[in-house]
């Protein structure tokens, strides 16, 4: 993300933009010129900072921080992650931000440094991996939040990731089994289906069947089991029919699913 866009977002979150400026930010997000995940990271960081008391930074702190990054770029010795962590540690030690804020700043500054580093393939791969980890951390954090809208956004973020680790899968499965929002659970099933070859996902789907009582979620889960060919889910669906009072259409759907899977 460019420095110009970072400043635009910061002004947007602080409420200092006029209507034209706000519209510009929203259009940049809509067109993809500003990554929604990066915007959300800065928004989350802004909220975190509003909730804690931090020492008043000196006027030159921000410029010194970027000056340090520029100097390090000219005399690079270690990996890009080491540089980012070192400089961020120096900066964060002065403002005592919470650990989650560190992750969000790493996400944002990582994009800035990546733009400055040129086309070094190995460094780009390392930075891409680091950004992937940060996005997963952000997704898990949002899934654990109280806002239904944020949890739905987190599921949508997960659907955009090329891969996820076991922690992210566990978070999504927990959401499938426990989220009070039907829409969030349905979207979670669709997101997890992308990684349906993962044994952890397949096993999690089977175990989740018994925890569902909403017709829409049950039907969506049945479709996913057929799509992925999870044959051992048939017994769980039969148990669902035996133990729960399903509506006529849902019961018929589950019976058809069992017939396809067997």
pLDDT of residue 32: 74
Check the CA dihedral 110-116-119-120 and report its sign: negative
Residue predicted with more confidence, 86 or 256: 256
Higher per-residue confidence, 12 vs 135: 12
Report residue 143 CA to chain centroid gap: 8
Across residues 70-92, what is the average pLDDT?
A: 51
User: What is the distance between the alpha carbons of residues 172 and 174, in angstroms, rounded to a whole number?
Assistant: 5
The three-class DSSP label of residue 74 is helix
pLDDT of residue 94: 42
Backbone angles phi, psi at 180, to 5 degrees: -75, -15
Distance (Å, whole) CA 246 – CA 237? 11
DSSP string computed for 111-174: HHHHHHSTT-HHHHHHHHHHHHHHHHHHHHHHHTSS-HHHHHHHHHHHHH-S---HHHHHHHHH
pTM for this predicted structure: 0.54
Does residue 161 register a pLDDT over 60?
yes
| 77, pLDDT greater than 80 | no
CA distance 126 to 83: 12
Instruction: Please count the helices (runs of H) and the strands (runs of E) in the chain.
Output: 14, 0
Q: How confident is the model over 27-40, as pLDDT tens digits?
A: 887 777 777 666 66
What's the confidence (pLDDT) of residue 236?
93
């Amino acid at each position: 993300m460019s420095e110009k866009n970072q400043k635009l977002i910061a002004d947007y979150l602080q409420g200092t933009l006029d209507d034209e400026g706000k519209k510009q930010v929203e259009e940049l997000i809509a067109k993809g010129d500003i990554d929604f995940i990066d915007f959300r990271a800065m928004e989350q960081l802004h909220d975190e900072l509003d909730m804690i008391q931090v020492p008043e930074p000196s006027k030159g702190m921000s410029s010194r921080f970027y000056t340090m990054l520029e100097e390090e770029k000219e005399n690079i010795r270690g990996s890009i992650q080491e540089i980012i962590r070192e400089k961020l540690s120096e900066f964060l030690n002065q403002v005592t931000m919470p650990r989650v804020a560190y992750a969000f700043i790493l996400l944002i500054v990582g994009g800035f440094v990546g733009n400055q580093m040129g086309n070094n393939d190995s460094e780009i791969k390392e930075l891409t991996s680091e950004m992937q980890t940060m996005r997963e951390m952000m997704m898990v954090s949002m899934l654990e939040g109280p806002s239904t809208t944020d949890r739905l956004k987190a599921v949508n973020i997960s659907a955009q990731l090329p891969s996820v680790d076991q922690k992210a899968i566990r978070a999504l499965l927990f959401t499938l089994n426990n989220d009070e929002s039907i829409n969030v659970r349905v979207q979670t099933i669709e997101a997890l289906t992308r990684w349906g070859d993962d044994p952890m996902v397949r096993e999690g789907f089977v175990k989740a069947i018994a925890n569902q009582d909403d017709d829409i979620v049950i039907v969506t889960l049945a479709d996913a089991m057929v799509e992925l060919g999870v044959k051992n889910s048939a017994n769980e669906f039969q148990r669902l029919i035996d133990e729960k009072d399903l509506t006529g259409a849902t019961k018929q759907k589950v019976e058809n699913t069992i017939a396809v899977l067997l």
